[in-house]
Amino acid sequence: MSLVGDLKAASGAAPAEIRGRIRRGEWQRPTAGLAPGYAQANLVVVPREIAYDFLVFCQRNPKPCPLIDVTDPGSPEPAYAAPGADLRTDVPRYRVYRRGEVEAEVTEITRYWRPDLVACLLGCSFTFEAAMRHAGLPVRHIDEGRNVSMYVTSIPCRPAGPFHGPMVVSMRPLSREQIARAVLVTGRYPWAHGAPVHVGDPEKIGIRDLARPEFGDPTRIAPDEVPVFWACGVTPQAVAQAARVDFMITHAPGHMFITDLLDEDLAAG
Amino acid sequence: MSLVGDLKAASGAAPAEIRGRIRRGEWQRPTAGLAPGYAQANLVVVPREIAYDFLVFCQRNPKPCPLIDVTDPGSPEPAYAAPGADLRTDVPRYRVYRRGEVEAEVTEITRYWRPDLVACLLGCSFTFEAAMRHAGLPVRHIDEGRNVSMYVTSIPCRPAGPFHGPMVVSMRPLSREQIARAVLVTGRYPWAHGAPVHVGDPEKIGIRDLARPEFGDPTRIAPDEVPVFWACGVTPQAVAQAARVDFMITHAPGHMFITDLLDEDLAAG
């Protein structure tokens, strides 16, 4: 197709059309900005044997792990979030883990698929960032064309089975006048991390140096701005890695699954 | 204790104190009105073997089945919702089911407890009814001292494993001027059924006769009022009964578990 690689054209396309291009190998780049208005999702694929503990972990930590769909064991179809889609091929880039280590980064996982695998989709910050921008709030890392800053905190997740560890957060700087609006706007989306977990004072949540995020890029903070922290969808991956689960597949950072759900479907109500 | 049976006194007590009385057999009646401000919860206890499918069912149907806590297998302690509580003794009345039939109604389940049992707590309509009353909205069945009207609808739940069936809803009549406020007030609590699933027109959701609810009492509807329907926590019990699960324990209707969580802990944000 002549549109391959044309972000502007792709961004206006419907989710199913974009997933088709991804499936055909025509789009292997990050998905930020594609299909505006539609929710994108984090992917975590685990064997049925540990899926129970993973579901309980998500239930116990809904802010970092807002579950929006779980497939039947062996089925790669997210029947709620995108009927007809195939989670083995419709994500631009995947990471395959064995015992907590990345074994491969691939563009489809057909050869890794097994009848006992369960795919979990979790809401993603793109949803609330779009809402922030609609509300006239700055999203610095987008404005400056960088990845969001992410930090490992001292906030413990509630453990479940082998899954335990600290919450990972993402950070966006805001002026003091913008904080209340940002809380209200993002708090509407409990299935996309919801309201911030912390405002200001990074040391209180175990972050020593804002300039050195554990994941992503550093973010410029203006002198009159406060760092605001949201629970981050990297948390379940970090926790599963730390638990050294035998086998797990996730999306590669930034290469999300594009659902048929509207961002508004991840709102409360 | 001299306070036994004294609702007024009990209602001012802290959750742990009320649970203590229930544990000692001093309170075996419905819990409506006790510990105002604290969230009460539906209880569903199932063997670990089918708990996975039940968790997926709850994930797929968050409006009727808002999970607020899941115990570790064999543990009767809801470590998040009420640390130190014992779900075998701290509910005033239980129902024990075998293959979908009620086998016993009892005031404690110690003798039924097994190392493979998992207890799930689900948010309850008492939370949003309290919010409605705080907002000056009528809750007719409370005002008239009756049980809420509940109906089996034609709205299908999304199935998971053996669990499938229609959504059960509860109904509260409101004037047309009150509908928007009721939607906004209850929509704040996604972990307590959230906003209504339907406003008016019972036939559209398969309800033939409002005067004949499947569960609870009929509710008086004034000529200028509209029936408003919320997803109901009876749904998972009805679905588990229909699936004829081998073994299940629930609270008896109206005899809820009183958590340490504030109603506000079941709000979005």
> Quick one: pLDDT at residue B3?
41
Specify the pLDDT at position B110.
98
On whether any CB of chain A is under 8 Å from the CB of B206, the answer is: no
* pLDDT for residue B63 is more than 90: yes
- Is A118 found in the same domain as A13? yes
* pLDDT attached to residue B14: 93
Q: Are A28 and A78 part of one and the same domain?
A: yes
Query: Model pTM?
Result: 0.93
Are B173 and B218 within one domain? yes
The confidence score (pLDDT) of residue B56 equals 98
Q: Tell me whether residues B70 and A56 touch, CB distance under 8 A.
A: yes
A142 and A223 housed in the same domain: yes
In a domain, A260, yes or no: yes
- Per cent of chain B over pLDDT 90 is 91
Average pLDDT on B247-256 reads 94
* B2 is a domain residue: no
**Residue B5: CA atoms inside 13 Å, Cβ hemisphere, count?**
1
Instruction: Return residues 107-166 of B near A (CB < 8 Å).
Output: 158, 160
CATH of the domain at A14: 3.40.1640.10
* pLDDT at residue B9 greater than cutoff 60: no
Looking at the structure, do residues B132 and B212 belong to the same domain, yes or no?
Answer: yes
- How far does the CA of residue B25 sit from the closest CA of chain A (Å)? 31
pLDDT at A10: 54
Other C-beta atoms closer than 10 Å to the C-beta of A145 total 7
pLDDT at B213 over 90: yes
Of chain A, the percentage scoring pLDDT greater than 90 comes to: 91
Q: B80 in contact with A at a CB cutoff of 8 Å?
A: yes
Q: Which residue of B has its CA nearest to A192?
A: B269
Establish if B48 belongs to a structural domain: yes
Q: Report the pLDDT averaged over residues A59-86.
A: 97
Mean pLDDT (chain A, rounded): 94
**What is the H or E stretch that residue B47 is in?**
strand B38-47
**Per-residue pLDDT at B116:** 98
Among the partner-chain residues B51, B158, B190, the one whose CB lies closest to the CB of A268 is B190
Q: Is the Cβ of A70 closer than 8 Å to some Cβ of chain B?
A: yes
> Minimal Cα–Cα distance from A63 to chain B, Å?
9
The pLDDT of residue B6: 53
A218/A249 same-domain check? no
Averaged pLDDT for residues A109-138 = 97
Gap from A126 CA to chain B (nearest CA, Å): 17
Domain-embedded: residue A1: no
A119 and A158 within one domain = no
Answer yes or no: do B105 and B72 share one domain: yes
Query: What is the total count of domains within chain B?
Result: 2
* Range with the poorest average pLDDT among A54-68, B2-16, B198-212: B2-16
| B226 burial level (CB within 10 Å; 0-12, 13-18, 19+) | middle
Q: Does B81 touch chain A (CB under 8 A)?
A: no
Do A213 and A147 lie in one domain? The reply is yes
| pLDDT of A12 | 66
Residue B1 domain-assigned (yes or no)? no
How do residues A23-68 score in pLDDT, each as one tens digit? 999 999 999 999 999 999 999 999 999 999 999 999 999 999 999 9
For residue B1, name the pLDDT band (cuts at 50, 70, 90): very low
ipTM, interface predicted TM-score of the complex: 0.90
CB contact (8 A) between residue A269 and residue B187: yes
For residue A38, is it within any domain?
A: yes
The answer to the question of residue A228 being in a domain is yes
Q: What is the mean pLDDT of residues B77-98?
A: 97
Question: What is the mean pLDDT of the segment spanning A201-211?
Answer: 97
Nearest residue in chain B measured CA to CA from A78: B60
- What average pLDDT score do residues B153-160 get? 96
Lowest-confidence region among A12-21, B14-23, B121-130: A12-21
Confidence at A1, pLDDT banded by 50, 70, 90: very low
Structural domain includes residue B68: yes
What is residue B11's predicted lDDT score, i.e. its pLDDT?
Answer: 58
pLDDT band at A3 (very low <50, low <70, confident <90, very high): very low
CA A142 remoteness from chain centre: 15
| pLDDT above 70: percentage of residues in chain A | 96
Same domain, B118 and B185: no
Burial class for A10, CB neighbours closer than 10 Å (0-12, 13-18, 19+): buried
DSSP per-residue letters across B130-189: HHHHHTT---HHHHTT-PPEEEEEEEEPPPBTTB--EEEEEEEEEEHHHHHHHHHHHHT-
Q: Find the helix packing angle between B48-60 and A48-60, rounded to 10°.
A: 60
Residue B172: give its domain's CATH number.
Answer: 3.30.2040.10
Q: What is the pLDDT of residue B240?
A: 87
- Give A112's contacts (C-beta < 8 A, 6+ positions apart): A96, A106, A249
Is A47 near chain B, with CB under 8 Å? no
What are the tens digits of pLDDT across the range A244-262?
999 999 999 999 999 999 9
Tally of CB atoms within 10 A around A30: 16
Question: Residue B40: which domain range?
Answer: 7-124+243-266
**Contact across the interface for B269 and A190, Cβ inside 8 Å:** yes
- How does the average pLDDT of chain B come out, rounded? 94
A99 touches B at CB < 8 Å: no
Residue A11 has pLDDT above 70, yes or no: no
Cα distance between residue B261 and residue B259, in whole Å: 5
* Per-residue pLDDT, B5: 47
- Chain A positions in Cβ-Cβ contact with residue B51 (cut-off 8 Å): 52
Q: Which residues of A touch B80 (CB under 8 A)?
A: 60, 158
B93 and B169 assigned to the same domain: no
Is the same domain home to B54 and B158?
Answer: no
